[in-house]
């Protein structure tokens, strides 16, 4: 009877370890996919609508830092552009715009 109990406990432990390992792989794959969808671009590569908003918007007096394009993940949705703005006091703000220059939430 003790042998069966020990085997049952060992079997459950193996299943648990296998499930945790698979969960770790899935999480790593999701992070890789997210990183692949976001690509750093030059400010010259921004759509004209986004360039206009940057030139005339609330952060027009701030320096433009890093710029990223986040590809649309679903059909029918627009790509999003993440722009980092820096002011002279070393503050930074990240603002997101769609391809039409409309500000979008995170």
What whole-number distance in Å separates Cα of residue 96 and Cα of residue 81?
A: 5
What residues contact 38, with CB distance under 8 A and at least 6 apart?
68, 69, 70, 71, 82
Query: What is the per-residue pLDDT across 25-51, written as a single tens digit (0 to 9) for each?
Result: 445 444 444 444 899 999 999 999 999
Per domain, the residue ranges of the chain are 1-37, 42-106
Q: How far is CA 56 from the centre of its chain?
A: 27
For the chain, what is the mean pLDDT? Answer: 80
Binned at pLDDT 50, 70 and 90, residue 4 comes out as low
> With 80 as the cut, is the pLDDT of residue 11 above it?
no
Instruction: Tell me the average pLDDT across 96-104.
Output: 96
pLDDT beyond 60 at 14:
no
User: Residue 77: CA atoms inside 13 Å, Cβ hemisphere, count?
Assistant: 11
Distances (CA, A) of 61 to 26, 55, 58, 73, 88: 43, 9, 8, 32, 10
From the list 22, 23, 37, the residue with the least C-alpha distance to 80 is 37
Q: Tell me the pLDDT tens digit for each residue of 60-93.
A: 999 999 999 999 888 888 999 999 999 988 899 9
Query: What pLDDT score was predicted for residue 61?
Result: 93
């Amino acid at each position: 009877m003790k042998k069966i109990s020990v085997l049952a406990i060992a079997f459950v432990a193996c299943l648990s370890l296998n499930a945790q390992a698979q969960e770790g792989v899935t999480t790593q794959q999701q992070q890789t996919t997210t990183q692949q969808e976001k690509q750093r671009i030059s400010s010259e590569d921004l759509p004209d609508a986004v360039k206009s908003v940057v030139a005339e918007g609330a952060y027009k007096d701030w320096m433009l830092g890093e710029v990223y394009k986040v590809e649309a993940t679903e059909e029918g949705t627009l790509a999003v552009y993440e722009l980092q703005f820096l002011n002279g006091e070393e503050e930074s703000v990240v603002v997101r715009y769609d391809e039409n220059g409309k500000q979008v939430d995170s």
